[in-house]
């Protein structure tokens, strides 16, 4: 059962919409709810301490979201009275969870590009361990000996190829997410990925031929 559905089970009453409207028309209730939501936002970790402008903006967004969802739920449910303040705060906590998930997704979108463009992955052993595991999943024909030369092969690719392969194979982004990051279409990301993977595989195969030649030379 999702959180919004649980919220809907907490309320009932054909008069709830009216009661909610009357509750919010009281200036004291309005100010009290806004003040509580402001404290929740301040403790949420979503904004930097001391940034009052961002705190007010985030509180305004939360307040509007809570009221909108409350009226949507009130319109859907028939039934009895509820503690309006407690119910509104439960809605606020659930919406804050959604805000945090969105915040984490935004961080997840921006951090990899900064890390990739700085070249930090090139000396990260954990990066190549995970990369090689996912590379094998993407192309099961690659042999263990080929994967051992992955670091060298990867360094021989263009920056664009390293970027698209890293986003997909190391960071685990889907094509639509990569499209958002790189500001291109999902179809273009698939084409770029397939071509980059093909170039990587060609380098790995060349390495394997060279090793075989050295063993038989």
Return d(Cα 139, Cα 153) in angstroms, integer: 15
B/e letters for 56-68, b = 16+ CB within 10 Å, e = fewer, are: eebbeebbebbbe
Q: How many other C-beta atoms lie within 10 A of the C-beta of residue 133?
A: 13
**What residues does each domain of the chain span?**
3-104, 119-216
- Kindly report whether the global pTM for this prediction surpasses the value 0.75: no
**What is 119-216's CATH number?**
1.20.140.160
pLDDT tens digits for the chain (217 residues)? 344 444 443 444 447 888 888 888 999 999 999 999 999 998 887 777 778 888 999 999 999 999 999 988 888 765 556 788 899 999 999 999 888 877 766 665 565 565 655 555 555 555 666 676 667 666 656 555 555 677 788 888 898 898 888 888 877 788 888 888 888 899 999 999 999 989 988 888 888 788 777 766 5
Q: How many other C-beta atoms lie within 10 A of the C-beta of residue 202?
A: 11
């Amino acid at each position: 059962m999702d959180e919004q559905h649980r919220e809907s089970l907490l309320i009932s009453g054909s008069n709830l919409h009216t009661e909610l409207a009357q509750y919010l028309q009281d200036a004291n209730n309005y100010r009290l709810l806004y003040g509580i939501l402001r404290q929740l936002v301040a403790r949420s970790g979503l904004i930097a301490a001391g940034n009052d402008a961002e705190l007010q903006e985030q509180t305004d967004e939360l307040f509007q979201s809570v009221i909108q969802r409350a009226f949507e739920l009130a319109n859907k449910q028939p039934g009895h009275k509820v503690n309006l303040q407690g119910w509104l705060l439960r809605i606020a906590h659930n919406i804050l969870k959604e805000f945090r998930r969105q915040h984490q997704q935004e961080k997840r979108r921006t951090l990899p590009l900064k890390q990739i463009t700085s070249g930090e992955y090139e000396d990260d052993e954990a990066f190549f361990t995970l990369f090689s595991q996912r590379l094998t999943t993407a192309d099961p024909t690659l042999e263990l000996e080929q994967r051992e030369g992955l670091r060298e092969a990867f360094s021989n690719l263009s920056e664009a190829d390293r970027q698209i392969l890293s986003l997909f194979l190391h960071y685990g982004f889907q094509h639509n997410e990569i499209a958002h990051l790189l500001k291109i279409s999902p179809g273009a990301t698939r084409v770029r990925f397939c071509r980059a993977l093909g170039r990587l595989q060609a380098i790995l195969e060349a390495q394997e031929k060279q090793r075989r030649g050295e063993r038989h030379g």
